[in-house]
Amino acid sequence: MLEQLSLLSFASGGWGQALLAGALVTISLALACLPIGLPLGLGVALMARSPKRFPRAVATVFSTVFRGLPELLTLLIIYYGCQIAAQKILAAMGYEGEVMINTFLAAMIAFSLVFAAFSSEIWLGAFKTVAKGQYEASQALGLSKATTFRKVVFPQLVRIAMPGLSNNWLSLLKDTSLVSTISLVDLMRQTNLAVSVTKEPMFFYGVACLGYLLFSALSGRVFVYIEQYFSRHMRGART
Amino acid sequence: MSFDQLLALVLDPDLLERYGPRFIDGLLVTGKLVAISFTLGALLGMLLALARLSNNVLLQRFSAGYIYFFRGSPLLAQLFLLYYGLGSLKGFWQDVGLWWFFRDAWYCTVLAFTLNTAAYQAEIFRGSLLAVAPGQYEAAKALSLKRSTTFFKVILPQSLIVAIGPLGNELILMIKASAIASLVTIYDLMGVTKLAFSRSFDFQIYLWAAVLYLLIVEIVRRSLKHIEARLGRHLR
């Protein structure tokens, strides 16, 4: 057992550093999906609530497609699709040669789309809890539509949406392990490499599982704080 | 561009003739994998949920730990842990006489998927069992029904109506997750797609797979909605 633990050391011959670097890639990939995925999801939810037919149809198609496709397939379609598209465009402009799309970028786009599709459902559910009176009251106060959304509706939405979004975040974190198949060197890929060198699959895959568990546990803690922050106005009423 | 050219871009007849039958096989493999592991997972998940709700602390802890582990780590890591990890203990399995099981990618995949979905289904069953009003237990006791009768005839039917929605979502998640099986040499729909793409380098193969997966998921989703409405018709 002690012998195996030395495989995790940070000295030469140990895989500690490699695994840590992989874990960093996993975390940063998951975090990089948030700035695109969250607003896009909210946008899709707004489109789904629009009175016009066209935006509604777009929103339905978007969320059906990206919620229905397996994440692995979405990833491969975006990765190879972008590659082929880039190749075609560059070839049309006269550039001949191999084009390689950055794997991190492709993975980021793919997971952002999936995250947006799932979170749009959460936002939609949250919209239903905002009472009609809130809109009417803001109208009576003469607030503009943008101000109503930003200052009145949105803060209430976030509080309701938080638990659902935290679930989505956890599945996003776990789904990032799929990028090891397009040879982005994340935690899973480093583990695969370590296994192929050391021939200790049981130990290393166990460590990888524990690593993901640790991330889930940590983000659970963070979400408790965020939820407390967004429901701080409720605290006074309850006690 | 004529219609034929357009057709060749998205549904090349030659390609379809060469890989169509394989796609059917892949679909069947995916269906079999999901059906077997979802059913076994439901049985195991029910047991885990009962263990989680039991008064025995040891059972509670074990089931909580199991659920935490399998919900907290990626299915991909679990699959590799089972297939490569347990598969590396060849001597041990040969001694126990189970080597035929852990040697085979198919059995390992079914096992990994079953264990994974059992954890998710256990949480669903736990929630739905808690949703049955306590008065139901008391009424069954007042009627002096046996414990097994109380569970199977009174509690379970009521809790399953609550559970069917989330279970449907879990089934859809399983169908999507089954694409991961292609990474350990199973030729399911995804595996067939990757094989066909690596041979033909034609991007439309991936689009076929996308359409097929979307079709399956939509059909399952709609029929589940129908079933749910039908089973809950006395509640309306």
Domain ranges of chain A: 18-231
Report whether A174 contacts B73 (CB < 8 A): yes
- What is the domain range of residue B155? 3-235
CA gap B190, B174 in Å, rounded: 14
- Of A135, A140, A167, the residue nearest A152 (C-alpha): A135
Mean pLDDT (chain A, rounded): 89
What SS3 class is residue A11?
A: coil
- Give the H or E element holding residue B221: helix B204-231
| A1 pLDDT above the threshold of 70 | no
Looking at residues B27-52, what average pLDDT do you find? 95
Read off the amino acid at residue B175: I
What is the H or E stretch that residue B9 is in?
helix B3-10
Residue A82 binned pLDDT confidence (cut-offs 50, 70, 90) = confident
Which positions in chain A touch B206 (Cβ < 8 Å)? 73, 76-77, 80-81
**Vertex A43: Cα angle to A39 and A49 (nearest 5):** 145
Contacts of A110 in chain B (CB under 8 A): none
Give which of B152, B170, B187 is closest to B113, Cα–Cα: B170
Buried residues in B21-50 as b, exposed as e (16+ CB within 10 A): ebbeebbebbeebbeebbebbbebbbebbb
Domain covering A18-231: architecture: Orthogonal Bundle (1.10)
Mutate which of B9, B27, B76 to disrupt the A interface (most A C-beta within 10 Å)?
B76
Q: What pLDDT, on the 0 to 100 scale, is given for residue A66?
A: 93
Residue A76 with chain B: CB contacts under 8 Å: 194, 206
> Chain A within 8 Å of B84 (Cβ-Cβ)?
yes
* Predicted confidence band of residue B203 (pLDDT cuts 50, 70, 90): confident
**Predicted ipTM of the assembly:** 0.87
Within a 10 A sphere around the Cβ of B196, how many other Cβ atoms? 23
Which chain B residues are closer than 8 Å to A216 by Cβ? 72-73
Whole-number Å distance between alpha carbons of A25 and A29: 6
Round to whole Å and give the CA distance between A111 and A169: 11
B179 contact A CB<8A: yes
CA R_g for chain B: 22
Determine the pLDDT at residue A35. 94
pLDDT at A239 exceeding the cut of 60 = no
pTM equals: 0.89
Residue A8 has pLDDT above 80, yes or no: no
Contacts of B87 in chain A (CB under 8 A): 201
Token pair 């033909």 is found at B200
- Report how far apart, in Å, the C-alpha atoms of B16 and of each of A211, B7, B211 are: 43, 12, 14
CA atoms of B235 and B228, how far apart (whole Å): 11
Kindly report the CATH number assigned to the domain that includes residue B14: 1.10.3720.10
What lies within 8 Å, CB to CB, of A137 at 6+ separation is A152
- Measure the CA–CA gap between B179 and A72, rounded to whole angstroms: 7
Q: Specify the number of domains making up chain B.
A: 1
CA distance A27 to A42: 23
- Residue B51, min C-alpha distance to chain A (Å): 22
What is the DSSP secondary structure assignment for residue B60, as one 8-state letter?
H
| Residue B201: DSSP 8-state | -
- The answer to whether the CB atoms of A188 and B88 lie below 8 A apart is no
- Backbone phi, psi, residue B75, to 5°: -60, -35
What is the pLDDT, as a whole number, of residue B211?
A: 92
**According to the 3-state scheme, what is the secondary structure of A50-105?**
CCCHHHHHHHHHHHHHHHHCCHHHHHHHHHHHHHHHHHHHHHHCCCCCCCCCCHHH
| HSE, side-chain direction, 13 A CA sphere, residue A76 | 24
Given a cut of 80, whether residue A6 has pLDDT beyond it is no
How far is the C-alpha of B9 from the C-alpha of B13, rounded, in Å?
10
B73 touches chain A (CB under 8 A): yes
| Contact yes or no for B77 and A177 at CB 8 A | yes
The confidence score (pLDDT) of residue B200 equals 85
- B210 and A69 within 8 Å at the Cβ level: the answer is yes
Q: How close, in Å, is residue B137 to chain A by CA atoms? A: 31
Using the predicted structure, report yes or no on whether residue B219 has a pLDDT greater than 90.
yes
A80 with B206: Cβ contact below 8 A? yes
Which region, left, alpha or beta, applies to residue A36 given φ > 0 means left and ψ of -120 to 50 means alpha? alpha
Residue A238 has pLDDT above 60, yes or no: no
Distance from CA of B15 to the nearest CA of A (A): 18
Contact of B53 with chain A, judged by CB distance below 8 Å, is answered with no
Please provide the DSSP assignment of A102-149 as one string. Answer: -HHHHHHHHHHHHHHHHHHHHHHHHHHHS-HHHHHHHHHTT--HHHII
Contact (CB<8Å) B81/A174 = no
Identify whether the C-beta of residue B12 lies closer than 8 Å to the C-beta of residue B4: no
- How many cross-chain Cβ pairs, A to B, lie less than 8 Å apart? 107
B124-179: per-residue pLDDT in tens? 999 999 988 889 999 999 999 999 999 999 999 888 888 988 999 999 999 999 99
Supply the pLDDT for residue B162. Answer: 86
